[in-house]
Amino acid sequence: MTLIKSISGIRGTIGGKVEENLTPIDAVKFAAAYGTWLKQQRNKENYRVVVGRDARISGEMIQNLVMNTLVGLGIHVIDVDLSTTPTVEVAVPMEHADGGIILTASHNPKQWNALKLLNAKGEFLNGAEGQKILEIAESNDMNFAEVDDLGKITKNTAYIDLHIEEVLKLPLVNAKAIENANFKVVVDGVNSTGGIAIPLLLERLGVHPVKLYCDPTGHFPHNPEPLKEHLGDLAAAVVKERADFGIVVDPDVDRLAFMDENGDMFGEEYTLVACADYVLSKNPGNTVSNMSSTRALRDVTEKHGGMYEASAVGEVNVVELMKKNNVVIGGEGNGGIIYPELHYGRDALVGVALFLSLLAEKRMKVSELRASYPNYYMSKKKIELTPGLDVDGILSTMESNYSHEKLTTIDGVKIDFADSWVHLRKSNTEPIIRIYTEAPSQEAADTLADRFIAEIKAIANI
């Protein structure tokens, strides 16, 4: 059982002991710290926070604790109930709220939950803001409202529909072409809120959705991370239904992956590549993804005359660089599409609409679309280290050993070779080094990863 406190929020497993797991006391304490921080940002008469959750089993309990803690601080709450992460992000500025909280542990299994925190723009907090909330939580310096000044909870369950409306308003969403294409699509909603939002979006676009695990019970039918090894049922359903393709999202609907008409993965890394290809063909410009994402986005961006740059890993870092570079589309290689025309957050609904527009206009099968992009293969591995080992020292040695190559050191060490790359970075929460590689073949990517694992072990004497 685990509780992880970090600048990006608090997450942990339900049950067990206080400060060792995500217990009711921990949820209340962290919500109170966030509410206290929010009130410190500006002095005003009324404060408002949007709160929503994915469908995991513990969600309703945690949401009630969080909302009533905010009420106790004198903060008014807009309860959007079952929702998605991008929907809450959209709702915050639409409600003119001071912030938002999403209760979700993303792709983690059902025993996990988390509080993800937003600012008044509906964007994730930066490192300094997150650190301040951690300090408030540890200090217990929180002052609650008197009885006449308690906040109120207002329920508004319309925001998934409102979010869909905002997506449909986007100029590059070609709703007419999508409707005329008469697509049939299987949707794996992993029994969470994607099972609500994605079929509704498809229906509005004139697409026939075949629902698979779209009942938002929180009982995930498989590992909820949208990877090939977890999606056998989706592959079988796509083939059986003779569907045009399949869609799968994670429980909070900020990660998106596609499956082609043969039941083969389009590749989660290529979700952003395809959406960027479409957007850049209409609106040329720059792109950003994180350092551990595929090189194919760079290739597509340069094909359209734009500039690509990689950020440190983490959505906040991606967004920061996107704003700096005036990017038209960006995101993360884990299927996270960030389209600033709507908002600065990973959004599977926007990704679905852009992908459908691309497919409808090109009038080709999903397998043919995938074949039109450069082929890169990734390997993702890790090395478990002895606690107390000097991880920074190990990475510094690797940097020195490869100083003759093209290096990026804003987040660990990334080494760019002519036809491949390797990214080495330490975990912020456990004693491991993560190794990401990409090469022209899977064998080459795996071999490169194994080579660097051996080098790290030699340096660390393990």
Arithmetic mean of pLDDT, 308-312: 96
CA-CA distances (angstroms) from residue 255 to 15, 106, 159, 208? 27, 9, 19, 21
Token duo for residue 246: 């399949």
Place of tokens 């290689």: 333
pLDDT digits over 134-167, tens only? 999 999 899 999 999 999 999 999 999 999 999 9
Task: Quote the DSSP letter at residue 263.
Answer: S
**DSSP per-residue letters across 167-180:** HHHSTT--HHHHHH
Q: Which of 15-19, 154-158, 162-166, 424-428 has the lowest mean pLDDT?
A: 424-428
Note the pLDDT of residue 429: 60
Instruction: Please determine, for residue 353, whether its predicted confidence score (pLDDT) is greater than 80.
Output: yes
- 8 a catalytic residue: no
Instruction: Please determine, for residue 431, whether its predicted confidence score (pLDDT) is greater than 80.
Output: no
pTM of the model: 0.95
Q: Which residues pair with 421 in a beta bridge?
A: 416, 438
pLDDT digits over 393-414, tens only? 999 999 999 999 999 999 999 9
Cβ-contact 97, 76 below 8 angstroms: no
Spot the catalytic one: 58, 83, 106, 379: 106
**DSSP per-residue letters across 42-111:** ---S--EEEEEE-S-TTHHHHHHHHHHHHHHTT-EEEEEEE--HHHHHHHHHHTT-SEEEEE--TTS-TT
Token duo for residue 76: 């008014």
Cβ-contact 358, 258 below 8 angstroms: no
Token duo for residue 266: 């389009």
Residues in the chain: 462
Instruction: Please determine, for residue 7, whether its predicted confidence score (pLDDT) is greater than 90.
Output: no
Residue 205's pLDDT band (boundaries 50, 70, 90)? Answer: very high
